[in-house]
Amino acid sequence: MELLTFKKGIYPPHNKYLTEDKEIIDMLPKEELVIPMLQHTGAPAVPVVQKGDRVLKGQKIGEANGKISSNVHSPVSGTVESTKQIYTSFGKKTLALVIENDGKYEEVKYPEKRDYNSMAVDEIIEAIKEAGVVGLGGAVFPTYFKLMPPKGATIDTIIVNGAECEPYLTGDYRLMLEKTNELIEGLKILLKIFPNAKGYIAVENNKEKAYKALKDAAKNEKGIEVCYLKTKYPQGSEKHLIYAITKREVPSGKLPLDVHCIVQNVGTVISVYQAVVFGEPVISRVVTVSGDAVKEPKNLRVSFGTSFKDAIEECGGFKEEPVKILSGGPMMGISLSNLDYPVSKNVTGIVALTKKSTDLSDETSCIRCGRCIDACPMNLMPALLDNLSRLNRYDDFKEKGGMNCIECGCCSYVCPAKRHITQSIKKGKLNSKK
């Protein structure tokens, strides 16, 4: 069978064997949860409860503020103990509510189970917005906004991103296996919003069981096709996934909807289903806790506000001292200096790596081997952009296409001189915008 893919890219060891056969376990929330008001791309939510208030599980505690923002809900019942400024695991300073868990898990009253077929499009989108659904692949862009393209835009393709190309991460894989029907129903809801679109579920060929399960579950669904992708990094990149399936290239500086596509992550689509059918908000997510430093790597469903430390302890703690703690996978994840960060909607995984499985070597001079060019999925010349960025030549940087970089890390991964090419290009992009 022909596998779909894109040009270039890399094949890092995926190390998914650590957790791929482990069922998702619900982790019981701890006594205290620190819930950031910013768990998404856009403006932070505004707290709608005060210190001392009693809140219920599923109650809205932060209200979306502005056009691109998202609601935040409490994962437990309890009392708002205090508020404080914290840094999120994606490096933004934000207000957080500290909620003391009373252990009763009293829930807010959810609406009766709804049939999405009898709901209007506006109602569906409102339900998604209300539930605080954001892109759970890590980018945390508010989902309702993606589903409201500007007038005149035509959407003919909706892709569910089940590539999960980051090494170590297996949360999406487990969801595809364990929540197969919910995923298909979620996609059908999206197809109800865009009745002229065709639905695709895209899975890499290192997740054969998920592919088969989905293929089987979708066999009677006319508008849905399950696609098999070549296992290659960064196959889950929005632009490259669109290319693999439709052979369309998102033009420089444009969005997927400019090529009539919407891409949503597996976890997001399941959240859409739960939000629309049951009115359930997003208060937890699947987090793969893995890496060679973790005693018993697991796939956990973690309530937001739980600290990294507690999630790691749930997996037996460390068996070896890690040097790096990552929020996300090792290719694009962020390394954190301590374990106090709360899990929020962006945390696809917690990966703890020992010295031998990460790379801390010093940079040496570029030898012009061209490996970065052979790896770059955007077809850029990374070593050249690296150079221009270090010389602060931002006009030339832009002219050579630096702004197209998707920061996937392929160039740094393959570089034999161990240069921090991705970081240097990120810096070039930031300074070019000034």
Partner 1 sequence: MSETIYTASPSPHIRSNITVKTIMRDVIIALMPALIVGIYFFKMNAVLVILTSVVSSVFAEWLWEKLTHKRITIGDLSAVVTGLLLAFNLPPTIPLWMVIVGAFFSIIVVKQFFGGIGQNFVNPALAGRAFLLASYSTAMTKWTVDGVTTATPLAILKTGKGTLPPITDLLIGNIGGCIGEISAIAILIGAAYLFYKKIISWEIPVTYIGTVLILTLLFGRNGFYEIFAGGLMLGAFFMATDYTTSPVTSKGKIIFGIGCGILTAVIRRFGPNPEGVSYSILIMNLFVPLIDRKTAPRIFGEVK
Using the rule CB under 8 A, is 431 a contact of partner 1? no
Q: Which of residues 89-128 bind partner 1 (CB under 8 A)?
A: none
Using the rule CB under 8 A, is 377 a contact of partner 1? yes
Using the rule CB under 8 A, is 339 a contact of partner 1? yes
- The answer for residues whose C-beta is within 8 angstroms of residue 193's C-beta and 6 or more apart is 121, 124, 125, 147
- Which of 121, 367, 391, 430: binder of partner 1 (CB under 8 A)? 367
Q: Tokens 């005060």, residue?
A: 50
Instruction: Tell me the closest approach of the beta carbon of residue 285 to partner 1, in angstroms.
Output: 21
Using the rule CB under 8 A, is 358 a contact of partner 1? yes
- Which of 117, 252, 433, 434: binder of partner 1 (CB under 8 A)? 252
- Which of 27, 133, 289, 383: binder of partner 1 (CB under 8 A)? 383
* Closer residue to partner 1, CB minimum distance, 199 or 409: 409
Sign, CA dihedral 229-231-237-240, equals: negative
Using the rule CB under 8 A, is 85 a contact of partner 1? no
Of the ranges 139-147, 207-215, 275-283, 419-427, which one interacts with partner 1 (CB under 8 A)? 419-427
Using the rule CB under 8 A, is 331 a contact of partner 1? yes
| Distance in angstroms (rounded) separating the CA atoms of residues 261 and 223 | 15
Using the rule CB under 8 A, is 324 a contact of partner 1? yes
Residues 39 and 344 sit within 8 Å (Cβ to Cβ): yes
- Which of 268, 271, 290, 412: binder of partner 1 (CB under 8 A)? 412
* Closer residue to partner 1, CB minimum distance, 71 or 306: 306
| Distance in angstroms (rounded) separating the CA atoms of residues 237 and 342 | 26
Report the candidate in 291, 297, 296, 275 with the shortest Cα–Cα distance to residue 323: 291
Instruction: Tell me the closest approach of the beta carbon of residue 16 to partner 1, in angstroms.
Output: 14
Render 131-181 in DSSP notation, one character per residue: TT-B-TTTT--BHHHHTSPPTT----EEEEEE---STT--HHHHHHHHSHH
Q: Which of residues 157-216 bind partner 1 (CB under 8 A)?
A: 167
- Which of 208, 249, 317, 430: binder of partner 1 (CB under 8 A)? 249
What does the DSSP 8-state code read for residue 29? P
Give Cα separations from 149 to 36, 52, 69, 253, 271 (angstroms).
Answer: 28, 40, 16, 16, 20
Cα first-last separation, the chain: 48
Using the rule CB under 8 A, is 239 a contact of partner 1? yes
* Closer residue to partner 1, CB minimum distance, 368 or 390: 368
Of the ranges 63-71, 95-103, 110-118, 318-326, which one interacts with partner 1 (CB under 8 A)? 318-326
Residues 402 and 325 sit within 8 Å (Cβ to Cβ): no
* Closer residue to partner 1, CB minimum distance, 43 or 417: 417
Using the rule CB under 8 A, is 309 a contact of partner 1? yes
Structure tokens at 351: 């990966």
Of the ranges 34-42, 120-128, 204-212, 417-425, which one interacts with partner 1 (CB under 8 A)? 417-425
Long-range Cβ contact pairs of 417-420 (< 8 A, separation 24 or more): 417/363, 417/364, 417/365, 417/366, 417/367, 418/359, 418/361, 418/362, 418/363, 418/364, 419/363, 419/364, 419/366, 419/383, 419/386, 420/363
Find the helix or strand (DSSP H, E) in which 101 lies: strand 93-101
- Which of 254, 317, 390, 391: binder of partner 1 (CB under 8 A)? 254
Using the rule CB under 8 A, is 330 a contact of partner 1? yes
| Distance in angstroms (rounded) separating the CA atoms of residues 319 and 316 | 8
Q: Which residues bind partner 1 (CB under 8 A)?
A: 10, 12, 167, 239, 243, 249-252, 254, 309, 322-326, 330-340, 353, 357-361, 364-371, 373, 377-381, 383, 400-401, 404, 407, 409, 412-418, 420, 422-423, 426
